[in-house]
Amino acid sequence: MKITAIYAGTFDPVTRGHLDVMTRAGNMFDRVIVAVAASPGKKPLFNLSDRVALIERVLAGRENFDIQPFTGLLVEFAAAREASVIVRGLRSVTDFDYEVQIASFNRKMHPEIETAFVAAAAEYSFISSSLVREIASLGGDVSPFVDEPVERALQVQFG
In this structure, which amino acid lies at residue 156? V
| Closest residue to ligand COA using C-beta atoms | 17
Binding test (CB under 6 A) with ligand COA, winner from 130, 137, 143, 155: 130
Binding test (CB under 6 A) with ligand COA, winner from 47, 62, 100, 105: 105
Q: Which of the residues are catalytic?
A: 18, 42, 91, 129
- What are the residues facing 156 on neighbouring strands? none
Binding test (CB under 6 A) with ligand COA, winner from 53, 79, 102, 116: 102
d(CA 20, CA 119): 9
Binding test (CB under 6 A) with ligand COA, winner from 32, 48, 120, 153: 120
Q: Min. distance of Cβ 98 from ligand COA in angstroms?
A: 8
Q: For residue 9, which of 97, 66, 69 has the smallest C-alpha distance?
A: 69
d(CA 102, CA 106): 6
Binding test (CB under 6 A) with ligand COA, winner from 5, 6, 8, 78: 8
**Checking phi first, is residue 11 left (phi over 0); if not, alpha (psi -120 to 50) or beta?**
left
Q: For residue 82, which of 105, 106, 113 has the smallest C-alpha distance?
A: 113
- Cβ distance to ligand COA smaller for residue 2 or 154: 154
The side-by-side arrangement of strands in the sheet containing 4-9 is 65-70, 31-37, 4-9, 85-90, 114-119
| Contact stretch for ligand COA (CB under 6 A) within 45-53, 57-65, 126-134, 151-159 | 126-134
Enumerate binding residues for ligand COA (CB under 6 A): 8-10, 12, 15, 17-18, 21, 37, 39, 73-75, 89, 91, 102, 105-106, 120, 124, 127-130
